[in-house]
Structure 1
Amino acid sequence: MDGDVPNIKKWVVFYPVYINSKKTIAEGRRICLSKACENPTCAEIGDCCSHFKLPFAIEIDKAYPRDFMQIGRVRVLLKKEDGTLYNPAISSRKQLMLRVAELVPRHPGRAKKQEPASTSTAGSSKSGKGGKKKR
């Protein structure tokens, strides 16, 4: 750790689950389904934070408490030492979640695998294809 980096224990914790449209509120989603995005990764969230000029740290040794298979989280610093905001547009963790969720679908890493929104009106149930993702 660098000497000039403040104590990241005080930074806002951001789990990808918070903005995952595949999760329910009970499973840990914290924003409304219409604004959430599909399976965001820590790297994508980190890139969004750097886009907003917010200092962030990705912690890959951490897991989401409600679902310990969800590995990784991002720590984000919203305010400077003197209490002023790094980005005036983002003043709370809720705003951070909403702004990041807006950006993740446009992330360059997922732009190529983005298929057009399906027009089927049938309620989408869980698809059978789950399983572990290779890293």
Structure 2
Amino acid sequence: MDAQTARIKKWVILYPVYINSKKTIAEGRRISASKACENPTCIEIADCCQYLKIPHAIEIDKAYPRDFMQRGRVRVMLKREDGTFVNPAISSRKQLMLHVAELVPRHPNRTKKQELASTSSNAGPSKSGKSGKKKR
């Protein structure tokens, strides 16, 4: 293990589950559902860390134990070697989660997806329900 890897090992881990409003506290959510965002990805979380000017590293090969189907986590450096905070506005893991959850819905990829979803849903009436013969 080289010096870079050893340094990153001390960083805070942020799983997407921690800020997912679709998950319950038992499933791993760490902040209130009202402040959480819907289905964040580790790439979106990393981009938010980039925006907040906080050093981070994405680990794609890792997964949250309670939700091992969703791969990826982000390691974030909250404090420097001398103990000072990288971003003075963020002094704890919880504050980091709240800031990231606030930024994820405004992520450029997310806003494009929402625009596409709203234009495609206005295409016309969609048929819902079962069709075909009733079985007796």
TM norm structure 2: 0.79
In structure 1, the partner of 2:103 is: 103
1:133 corresponds in structure 2 to: none
Query: What's the Cα RMSD here?
Result: 1.7
Aligned counterparts of 2:2 and 2:110: Cα–Cα separation in 1: 32
Following the alignment from structure 1 to structure 2, what is the Cα–Cα distance between the partners of residues 6 and 91? 22
Q: Which amino acid aligns with 2:22?
A: K
Q: Distance in 1 between matches of 2:56 and 2:92?
A: 15
Gaps of 5+ in 1: 116-135
Q: Deviations over 1:44-70 (max 9, x none)?
A: 000000111100000000010111112
The runs of 5 or more residues in structure 2 that have no matched partner are 116-136
Question: Aligned residue for 1:93?
Answer: 93
Q: Which amino acid is the alignment partner of residue 72 of structure 2?
A: G
TM-score by length of 1: 0.80
Residues 38-57 of structure 1 mapped to structure 2, 5 A cutoff: 38-57=38-57
Q: Which has the larger radius of gyration?
A: 2
Report percent identity of matched pairs. Answer: 79
Shift in CA distance, 4/74, structure 1 to aligned 2, threshold 3 Å: closer
The alpha-carbon deviation at position 81 of structure 1 amounts to 0.5
Rounded Cα–Cα distance in structure 2 between residues aligned with 1:56 and 1:98: 17
Aligned length: 115
Q: Distance in 2 between matches of 1:23 and 1:97?
A: 15
- How many Å separate the matches in 1 of 2:54 and 2:6? 13
**Cα 1:70/1:54, change in 2 over 3 Å:** same
Structure 1 stretch displaced more, 2-11 or 42-51: 2-11
Hey, what's the Cα distance between the residues in 1 that align with 2:2 and 2:9? 15
The code of the aligned residue for 2:80 comes to K
Counterpart amino acid of 1:89?
A
Residue pairs, 1:1-135, within 5 angstroms: 7-114=7-114
Instruction: Identify, as 1 or 2, the structure richer in helix.
Output: 2
